[in-house]
Structure formats: structure tokens, C-alpha cells
Amino acid sequence: MERAAAAGPRPGAPSQPIKNVLPLTEDSPPGVPTDAPAWVTSLKTELPSELELSEEQRLQISKELVDLQITTLRLREQHETEIFELKSEVLRLENRVLELELQGDRAAAAKTDPGHLQAFAQELEQKVRGQEPCNHHTLQLQGEMKWTLEQHGARQQALETRVAALGQQLQGAQEEARMAGQRLAAQAVVLSTCQGQLRQAEAENARLQLQLKKMNEEYSIRLQRYSRALVEYADGTSQAPTAEALRTFLETTLGDIRAAHHSREQQLARAARVYRKRLADLSRRHEELLGAHRNLEAESWAQIRQKLRDFYHDTQAKLERERAELLVRATKAEAQLSELQEYVDQHLGRYKQEILRLRKLVDPGGPHLHPSLSAQGPAAANQSSDKLGAQLFRPAGRPPHRPASGCH
């Protein structure tokens, strides 16, 4: 009956799958399917030519037809999915009915045969003893999962602290790079100023050298003129000039030349000292700028930034991989633990109560069942024993297991 009820149509669901909309043929009018009623076709033929559908309207109708087909396919898939789920539910209920029938047959055979009751009790005791390692394994899994979660939390906290420290170091390095860039810009301005002063000093030196050359030429011309004047003076007089007069004239001329050369030497010495001082200052500043620029190369800073960026990305990727692995392990451990706990809750207490009940049935002189359980029947007694076993053998801190409706 359940199978027939599941196979029948559900309320609100279509009794048959909706067929796809048929494509239009060449002979049928636009926008009207081939299987349309006769009045629709006649109405379409009676329309005037001015009211014929435009290309945009045809495209709109085609789009609506495609949407309708998609909706139909979606409804069909949903209907098939629901039918599959209902069939699966029916099969599961049939399996449960078969299990209950087998358990009923075993219980009936146990009531009629005391030897079979003893064998069944021994079998249940063996199953209970086999469940003890499973319970120990469950506790071990609980401890391992707790330790894994603690390790994951500690490692994640340490890695977050490390990432924060690396971020602070990166910010410090960026701040130092910015300050170094500012210092480098200031030193570049100073270097440009010094280069301008050097060019001015070189221009001044060239001007002084040109002036010296002109003065030397002027002094040589004056000396030649003095020599010619002396020769003309000596030739023009009737008598030779006296030695005293020539000596006086020559000493006066040489004195003028010496005074001019001495003043020029002093002027050039002062210019040379100033030039050497400026050149020394410029050389010192140039060496300082070269040293600073050598330590703060743009390529080196680019390499440092690239290394820091690569290290940050590698560390982040490693942390993400470790986090994903730990989450997968924790999920698997939780799933395995829940399965084992559910298995223990379902079977261990029931085995204990079944053993006690079978021992009471085998031993006539032993304590009897509670009158209320005897009056309710074996099914109610089994359910009560299941609940009692689940309460007795349930681990601490876990809510009582509630079986799904229709399964127990």
C-alpha cells in the first residue's frame, strides 16, 4: 500500500510530464503553433495585413516560447526528483519493515526456545564487548579532535602574530625608504646647487686666465715699446747717454714691471686659494652624495620590496593551506566521531537491555519485568529499554539521541 501511495500522483503535482512546445512550421502563421485550434487559425487569417507582427514582436514571442520550454524542463526535472525521493523513501520504509519482521521472528523464536535465547544472549554479549573498543576509539577521537583544534588555534594565533609583526616591519621599511628618498632628493638638490657653483667657479677661472693672458700681452708690448724708446733716445742724442741715466731709466721701467707682476701674482694667488677651497668643498659634497646614492640604489629598494612582497604572499599562501588542511581534518574527525557516537547510542544501550531481558526470560527465578512493561507488550518494553540504555550509556555532555520518525 505504501508503494502504491508513493507511486501515485501527489496533490498539486502534474499527473504527466508537460510536453515541450512544438516548433513552428513554415506553413503555420507566425506566433501560432501547428496544433492550435481552428478558431485561432481563422482569426489569424482574418486579421488585416497592417496588423501583422513585426520582427521585434516575433522575436519577443520566440523568447517567451523558449522561456516556457525552460520552465517546462525545470518543472519536469523537479517532478522527477520528487518521484525519485519518494521511491527512495518507500524503499527505505520497506527495508525497515523487513528488519522489524526479522526482529519479530527472532523474538518469537527466542520466546519458544530457551537454548536459542541463551545463544542470542551470548551473541549480544559478544557484540557489547566488541563495542567497548569502539567506545574507547570514540573517546580517543574526541581527545585527538580537541588536541587538533587546540593546535590549530595556537598555530593560527602564532601565524597571525607573525603576519602582524611582518606587516609592522614592512611599514617600518616603507617609512625608512620614504625618509631615505626624501634625504636623497634633498641631497640631489644640494648636488645640483654645488654643480652650479662649480660651473660658476670654472667660468670665473676661465675669465681670470683670459685676463692674465691679455695682461701678459700688454706687458710684453709695453716692454717692447720701452726698449724702442730707449734705443731712439740713445740714437737721437749727439752724445751717448750716461750710464747713470740709463741705469735710472732701466730701474724705473723694471720697477714698474715688477710692481705690475707682483700685484698680478697676488690677485692670482687669492683667486687660486678661493678656487681650491670651493673645489675641495664640492669634492667633499660629491663624495658624500655618491656614498649616500650608492647605499640607496633604486634597484636595491625595488629588490627589497619585491622580496618582502614575495615573502608576505608565500607566508599567506602557506597559512591558507595549513588552515584548509586543519579544517578538513577537523571536519573528518567530527564526522567520524558523530557516526561512532550515533552507532553507540543506537546499539549499545539496546544490547545491554536486551541481554538483561533475555536473562530474565531464561532464568524463571530471577526478577521479573515491571508490570507496566508487561502490560504494554514486547514492543513498548523494547522501546523503554532502548531509551533507558541510551540514558545510561550516553557520554557526558551529549544530548539524548532522538531517532527519526518512521525509522524506529
The backbone torsions φ and ψ at residue 183, rounded to the nearest 5 degrees and listed phi first, read -60, -40
Between CA 346 and CA 101 the distance in angstroms is 19
C-alpha cell at 136: 574507547
- List Cβ neighbours of 208 (8 Å cut-off, separation of 6 or more): 268, 271
Q: Tell me the Cα Rg of the chain.
A: 57
pLDDT in the model for residue 187: 81
Between CA 407 and CA 345 the distance in angstroms is 15
**pLDDT tens digit string along 290-299?**
777 666 666 6
Does residue 111 or residue 152 have the better pLDDT? 152
pLDDT above 50 for 401: no
Verify that 96 and 153 share a domain, yes or no: no
What range does the domain containing 154 cover? Answer: 149-314
Verify that 204 and 250 share a domain, yes or no: yes
337 located within any domain? no
Between CA 91 and CA 169 the distance in angstroms is 64
C-alpha cell at 127: 557484540
188 located within any domain? yes
Q: Are 407 and 96 in contact (CB under 8 A)?
A: yes
Give the number of other CB atoms < 10 A from CB of residue 352.
19
pLDDT in the model for residue 70: 92
pLDDT in the model for residue 51: 47
pLDDT in the model for residue 128: 66
Closest CA to 82 of 10, 173, 149, 153: 10
Verify that 97 and 169 share a domain, yes or no: no
DSSP string of 332-401? HHHHHHHHHHHHHHHHHHHHHHHHHHHHHHH-TTSPPPPHHHHHH-HHHHHHHHHHHHHHHSPPTT-PPP
**Size of the chain in residues:** 408
Query: What Cα–Cα distance (Å) separates residue 387 from each residue in 72, 77, 395?
Result: 49, 42, 14
pLDDT above 70 for 140: yes
Give the number of other CB atoms < 10 A from CB of residue 133.
10
DSSP-H helix ranges across 25-113? 38-46, 55-112
Round the average pLDDT of the chain to a whole number and report it: 71
Q: What mean pLDDT do residues 76-105 have?
A: 86
pLDDT above 70 for 112: no
Does residue 226 or residue 134 have the better pLDDT? 226
Q: Are 344 and 138 in contact (CB under 8 A)?
A: yes
**pLDDT tens digit string along 171-187?**
888 888 888 888 888 88
Verify that 159 and 297 share a domain, yes or no: yes
C-alpha cell at 34: 501547428
Show which of 314, 344, 367 is a domain's final residue.
314
Least confident piece of the model among 155-164, 279-288, 317-326, 372-381: 372-381
Give the number of other CB atoms < 10 A from CB of residue 387.
15
pLDDT in the model for residue 236: 65
288 located within any domain? yes
pLDDT above 50 for 368: no
pLDDT in the model for residue 104: 75
132 located within any domain? no
135 located within any domain? no
Between CA 322 and CA 341 the distance in angstroms is 28
**pLDDT tens digit string along 346-365?**
777 777 787 787 778 776 55
pLDDT-based confidence at 42, cuts 50/70/90? low
pLDDT above 70 for 336: yes
Q: What mean pLDDT do residues 148-161 have?
A: 84
pLDDT in the model for residue 117: 61
Verify that 90 and 169 share a domain, yes or no: no
Helix (H, G, I), strand (E, B) or coil at 28: coil
1 located within any domain? yes
Query: What Cα–Cα distance (Å) separates residue 391 from each residue in 341, 357, 384, 405?
Result: 13, 17, 11, 19
Q: Are 345 and 390 in contact (CB under 8 A)?
A: yes
Q: Are 33 and 41 in contact (CB under 8 A)?
A: no
Q: What mean pLDDT do residues 236-262 have?
A: 71
pLDDT above 60 for 12: no
Verify that 193 and 307 share a domain, yes or no: yes
**pLDDT tens digit string along 43-64?**
455 544 444 568 888 888 988 9
Verify that 172 and 77 share a domain, yes or no: no
Show which of 314, 333, 352 is a domain's final residue.
314
Query: What Cα–Cα distance (Å) separates residue 218 from each residue in 41, 164, 222, 256, 267?
Result: 125, 80, 6, 13, 17
Between CA 124 and CA 147 the distance in angstroms is 34
Q: Could you report how far apart the first and last alpha carbons of the chain are, in Å?
A: 20
Show which of 282, 298, 314 is a domain's final residue.
314
pLDDT in the model for residue 110: 60
C-alpha cell at 287: 663624495
Does residue 375 or residue 178 have the better pLDDT? 178
Closest CA to 82 of 138, 6, 153: 6
> How many separate domains does the chain show?
2
Residue percentage of the chain with pLDDT more than 90: 1
C-alpha cell at 186: 634633498
